[in-house]
């Protein structure tokens, strides 16, 4: 009995001592090389479906997007709700039968998220749409991982070709800019569709606006005459790369027992060794985003943001990894080494 109790205590301590917990780790999806290659193809098929059959699927797509945005924004609000409910509410879970068990913070975050989505459906305001889009971005970055630099290059290069083709060359084939049309086309409000289906009368649910779906962030111009757009893919995909290099920075720091890059080649200056991969990639992202914005203003036309973001993030990262002698290690299975260290930072 004593041995069994000791084993149980060890199991409990190991499970509670982990940084993220087993449940979080099990829900994380790691992209492999095959998925990275086929993701642009799947995105192209989805884009064509939305282009040709938008009128048929717009209500279903709007409802699915609203449900996903509700869950994602509830995830985004959860830390704040946990902080607010900690002093006045125990962390005991409340049972809802077959729906599961939830804490007070989870219920509060979900209620706030549902309220926000309902207000967005009723008003269609761009600020609420941006908030929901940011929730989707944070959720996707939190639950998806890039395992290596090879997969990162495959994914971002494929999406770069995808973005350039559908923005610049789709008009020559389909007589319309497919990417721009799908991104800017508003969908019928589900409340309006419901009122027409149920014949609720001309004044019930008919004054709600059409909805611009939260697959992008929009920013009004200084005059308010038009909006600039940034797709959530242009945030999520470079964000996944930033998470990868941040994890590698922390992993290498703990593996060396010193600052990042301390074991690099002797001919690399100390200043170069102090620059982390995360800061290098983050600066490249902001420079690429600024370049895309300037190009859009100069050409007065939609620009594929990944055309600027991918080179400005990947090229400095690859160059720095080569100079520091980490390129081969980062390229394939960078987190597997002789010193088993599961303590690296999970972003």
DSSP 87-145: TTS--PPEE-GGG-EE-HHHHHHHHHHHHHHHHHHHH--HHHHHHHHHHHHHHHHHHEE
CB-CB contact of 240 with 313 (8 Å): no
d(CA 199, CA 192): 10
**DSSP states of 169-212:** IHHHHHSS-HHHHHHH--B--HHHHHHHHHT--TTSS-SPPPB-
Q: Domain containing 164: what range?
A: 29-254+273-332
Residue 18 lies in a domain: no
User: In this structure, is residue 339 part of a structural domain?
Assistant: no
Per the structure, the count of domains in the chain is: 1
Residue 14 domain-assigned?
no
pLDDT of residue 244: 94
User: Which of 177, 130, 143 has its CA nearest to residue 25?
Assistant: 143
Residue 215 lies in a domain: yes
Write down the pLDDT at residue 198: 72
pLDDT along the chain (347 residues), means of 10: 46 41 64 93 93 86 88 89 79 75 87 92 88 90 92 95 93 90 85 75 67 84 72 93 93 71 52 82 95 89 91 94 89 67 49
Contacts of 5 (CB under 8 A, 6+ apart): none
In a domain, 211, yes or no: yes
- Does residue 33 contact residue 150 with C-beta atoms inside 8 Å? yes
Q: Which residues neighbour 154 within 8 Å (Cβ) at sequence distance 6 or greater? A: 33, 36, 37
Give a yes or no: residue 290 inside a domain.
yes
How far is CA 100 from each of CA 93, 132, 139, rounded to the nearest angstrom?
9, 25, 21
Residue 245 is assigned to a structural domain of this protein = yes
* Distance, CA of 188 to CA of 198 (rounded, Å): 16
The answer as to whether 171 is a domain residue is yes
Give residue 204's pLDDT: 56
Catalytic positions: 163, 234
Single out the residue of 240, 245, 250 nearest to residue 19, CA to CA. Answer: 250
């Amino acid at each position: 009995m004593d041995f069994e109790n000791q084993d149980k205590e060890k199991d409990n301590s190991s499970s509670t001592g982990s940084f993220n917990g087993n449940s979080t780790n099990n829900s994380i999806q790691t992209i492999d090389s095959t998925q990275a290659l086929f993701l642009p193809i799947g995105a192209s098929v989805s884009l064509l479906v939305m282009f040709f059959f938008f009128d048929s699927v717009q209500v279903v797509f709007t409802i699915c997007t609203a449900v996903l945005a509700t869950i994602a924004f509830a995830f985004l609000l959860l830390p704040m709700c946990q902080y607010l409910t900690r002093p006045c509410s125990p962390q005991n879970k409340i049972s809802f039968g077959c729906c599961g068990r939830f804490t007070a913070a989870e219920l509060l975050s979900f209620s706030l998220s549902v309220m926000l989505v309902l207000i967005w459906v009723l008003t269609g305001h761009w600020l609420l749409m941006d908030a929901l889009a940011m929730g989707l971005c944070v959720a996707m970055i939190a639950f998806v991982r890039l395992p290596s630099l090879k997969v990162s290059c495959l994914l971002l290069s494929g999406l770069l070709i995808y973005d350039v083709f559908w923005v610049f060359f789709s008009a020559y084939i389909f007589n319309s800019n497919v990417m721009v049309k799908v991104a800017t086309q508003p969908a019928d409000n589900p409340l309006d569709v419901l009122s027409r289906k149920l014949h609720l009368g001309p004044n019930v649910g008919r004054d709600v606006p059409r909805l611009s779906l939260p697959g992008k962030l929009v920013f009004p111009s200084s005059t308010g005459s038009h909006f600039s757009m940034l797709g959530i893919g242009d945030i999520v995909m470079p964000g996944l790369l930033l998470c990868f290099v941040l994890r590698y920075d922390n992993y290498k720091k703990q593996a060396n027992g010193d600052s990042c890059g301390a074991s690099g080649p002797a001919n690399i200056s100390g200043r170069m060794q102090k620059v982390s991969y995360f800061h290098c990639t983050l600066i490249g992202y902001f420079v690429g985003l600024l370049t895309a914005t300037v190009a859009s203003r100069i050409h007065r036309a939609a620009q594929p943001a990944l055309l600027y973001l991918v080179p400005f993030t990947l090229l400095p990262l690859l160059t720095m990894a080569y100079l520091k002698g980490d390129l081969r290690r980062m390229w394939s299975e960078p987190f597997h080494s002789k010193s088993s260290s599961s303590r690296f930072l999970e972003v």
